[in-house]
Amino acid sequence: MTQGTPSQGQSVSGAELRLDQVVKRYPGQKVPAVQSLSLTIPAGEIVAFVGPSGCGKTTSLKMINRLIEPTSGTILIDGNDIRQESATSLRRKIGYVIQGGSLFPHMTVATNVGVVPKMLGWDAARIAERTDELLDLVGLDPDRYRDRYPRELSGGQQQRVGVARGLAADPPVILMDEPFGAVDPITRQRLQDELISIQRELGKTIVCVTHDIDEAIKLGDRILILQEGARIAQYDTPENILAAPANDFVADFVGAGSTLKQLSLTRVRSLDLNQPTTARVGEEMGPVLARAEAAGDDEVVILDDRDRPVAWPWLRQMRNKTKVIGEPRENLVTLDEAATLNDALDTMLTAAHSKAIVTGDRDRYLGVLDFETVTEHMRSAEREAAENVENAEKAESAESIEDPAPTGEAGHG
Ligand SMILES: Nc1ncnc2c1ncn2[C@@H]1O[C@H](COP(=O)(O)OP(=O)(O)OP(=O)(O)O)[C@@H](O)[C@H]1O
Ligand SMILES: [Mg+2]
């Protein structure tokens, strides 16, 4: 029936990005917005750019697709200098997604998504096919949404269309500037999960600007922490940055609660999932009830023909029916396998349900996660962190005995 684990074989279709001593000085600026940024982003990775407002994140991003010309320095995509590329060729290679999706209000969803392919001269049938495929990928039913106008969509849905548009021409590189800034926390979490799953599936190189360190920890294979002037404070994996901040700026930026932030490093997929009774829409009810009772389950997860969970009824809600139906949907609480433990807690608390269904690529069912599993994991992570702090304190006091801190020059009597 359900295949246990999702395929991990990721094909990398992304391109390597290299910035070499890139400088941007806006007219009249004394200190350049970007002082000298050198950086390699490996093909197929998500890199999150974080840093305080005005530190040069957007400027750096826009130089990669030449919305802003660098004052000096070089930017290479897979070894090719972007200055040698035509505008069309750059459009083909780099998708761009910004806050709110920034859709054209007078165009339908489908027209918005197809803007770049149209510019590239694709024929109408191919554009239509691609548009439907992408709407499906970002979790919008094409039949329902393709002919709507942006004003007929929620903020989160507009953002999804924005992501679809960024992916439309299948570019190896996608740049995103605060793509999930304007949506509520739960939708934001869904969109992040969607992005991670798209990334898993397509292996793009993604640069995502955010000023939310938790988002960076969740999304980034690596995080680039920038200081004023786009100077690099640290460029490393989330694990390494949390474990060993390079300096006080990074430590402050990452925040005091970094043991709690470890929760953002743990994905739902790494915990043990329960495998309760499942059933298909259309199945005879008798055997399903028998299976559930034999297993001691009081709920059954109902799947559709593509292995997606569609309902999560209590046994008592099923007894008076002869066949399994895709109802009721009210308590269908789902989490993507890429969701973090923070997300899992949020979702369960918001839904007031102590369990959530975990899904993988294209919403395929994987199992059920319960509250106890999450809290147990947190408790053991906390114990571990407390032990680490204790050990570090011991090490520190041993050090200060050997090497007393300098007393300074002033202060005699
Ligand atoms: N068109 C412009 N002309 C002059 N100065 C600019 C221009 N755009 C940005 N700047 C300045 O360059 C610096 C970097 O701006 P940038 O927009 O790259 O910052 P950011 O890190 O994206 O900030 P935020 O988090 O607020 O979006 C800021 O000091 C900003 O005022
Ligand atoms: Mg910005």
Task: Judge residue 67's burial from the number of C-beta atoms within 10 Å of its C-beta, 0-12 exposed, 13-18 middle, 19 or more buried.
Answer: middle
User: Residue 210 sits in a domain of what CATH number?
Assistant: 3.40.50.300
Would the pLDDT of 305 be above 80?
yes
Residue 29: inside a domain, yes or no?
yes
Q: Which residue of 23, 24, 26, 65 sits with most ligand 1 atoms within 8 Å of its CB, as the best mutation to test the pocket?
A: 26
Contact indicator for 297, 315 with CB cutoff of 8 Å: yes
Ligand 2 center to 365 CA (angstroms): 37
Looking at the fold, whether 94 and 217 belong to one and the same domain comes out as yes
Average pLDDT of the chain to the nearest whole number: 86
> Is residue 353 lining ligand 1, measured as CB closer than 6 Å?
no
Whether the CB of 62 sits within 6 Å of ligand 1: no
Q: Mean of the pLDDT values across residues 129-138?
A: 90
Phi, psi of 380 (to 5 degrees): -70, -35
| Residue 245 shares a structural domain with residue 144 | yes
Q: Are 33 and 224 in contact (CB under 8 A)?
A: no
CA distance 225 to 171: 25
Whether 119 maps to a domain, the answer reads yes
Ligand 1 nearest atom to the CA of residue 34, by list position: 14
Residues with CB under 5 A from ligand 2 (ion): 58
pLDDT tens per residue, range 179-216: 887 777 777 887 888 888 888 888 899 999 998 888 89
Look at residue 404 and tell me if it is in a domain. no
**236 shares its domain with 313:** no
Are 227 and 273 part of one and the same domain?
no
At residue 413 the predicted structure's pLDDT band, cuts being 50, 70 and 90, is very low
CA 211 to ligand 2 centroid distance, Å: 9
Handedness of CA 306, 310, 316, 321 (dihedral sign): negative
Q: What domain range includes position 204?
A: 17-254
Domain assignment present for residue 263? The answer is: no
Task: Supply the DSSP symbol for 99.
Answer: T
Helix, strand, coil proportions of the chain in percent (round to 5)?
40, 20, 35
Residues 60 and 169 in one domain: yes
* Residue 34 is assigned to a structural domain of this protein: yes
Residue 200 and residue 57 share a domain? yes
Are 277 and 229 part of one and the same domain? no
58 Cα nearest atom in ligand 1: 22
Residues 68 and 164 in one domain: yes
Residue nearest to atom 18 of ligand 1 (CA): 56
The mean per-residue pLDDT over the stretch 142-153 comes to: 94
Among the bound ligands, the one closest to the CA of 225: 1
- Look at the chain and report how many structural domains it folds into: 2
Q: What is the pLDDT at residue 395? A: 74
For residue 390, is it within any domain?
Answer: no
382 part of a folded domain: no
> What is the whole-number distance in angstroms between the Cα of residue 153 and the centre of ligand 2?
25
Q: Do 114 and 165 belong to one domain? A: yes
Q: Give residue 411's pLDDT.
A: 40
Torsion angle, alpha carbons of 141, 146, 151, 152, to 10: -50
CB 378 within 8 A of CB 411: no
Q: What would the mean pLDDT of 126-152 be, rounded to a whole number? A: 92
Q: What is the pLDDT of residue 399?
A: 64
Q: Which of 254, 279, 299 is the last residue of a domain?
A: 254
Q: To 5 degrees, how large is the angle CA 300–CA 302–CA 307?
A: 135
CA distances from 196 to 44, 45, 82, 147, 303 (A): 12, 11, 27, 27, 23
What's the mean pLDDT in 269-298?
93
**Residue 293 and residue 235 share a domain:** no
**Residue 249 shares a structural domain with residue 309:** no
Percentage above 70 pLDDT, the chain: 89
Does the structure show a pLDDT above 80 at 290?
yes
Q: Is the CB of 57 under 6 A from ligand 1?
A: yes
For 34-81, what is each residue's pLDDT tens digit? 999 999 999 999 999 999 899 999 999 999 999 899 999 999 999 999
pLDDT in tens, 91-110: 888 999 887 778 888 999 99
> What is the tens place of the pLDDT at every residue in 371-404?
888 888 877 777 776 676 677 677 767 766 555 4
Domain CATH for 299: 3.10.580.10
pLDDT band at 294; cut points 50, 70, 90:
very high
Distance 201 CA to ligand 1 centre (A): 33
Q: Whose CA is nearest to atom 17 of ligand 1?
A: 58
Q: Are 132 and 114 in contact (CB under 8 A)?
A: no
Report the nearest atom of ligand 1 relative to the CA of 209.
22
- Residue from 55, 208, 253 whose mutation best tests the ligand 1 pocket (most atoms within 8 A of CB): 55
pLDDT at 412 over 90: no
Same domain as 244, residue 322: no
User: In this structure, which residue's CA is closest to atom 4 in ligand 1?
Assistant: 26
d(CA 341, CA 335): 10
> Is 395 contained in some domain?
no
Higher pLDDT, 24 or 254: 24
CA distance linking residue 221 with residue 214, whole number of Å: 13
**Neighbour-count burial for 384-398, b at 16+ CB within 10 Å, e otherwise:** eeeeeeeeeeeeeee
Ligand 1 proximity of 63 Cβ (cutoff 6 Å): no
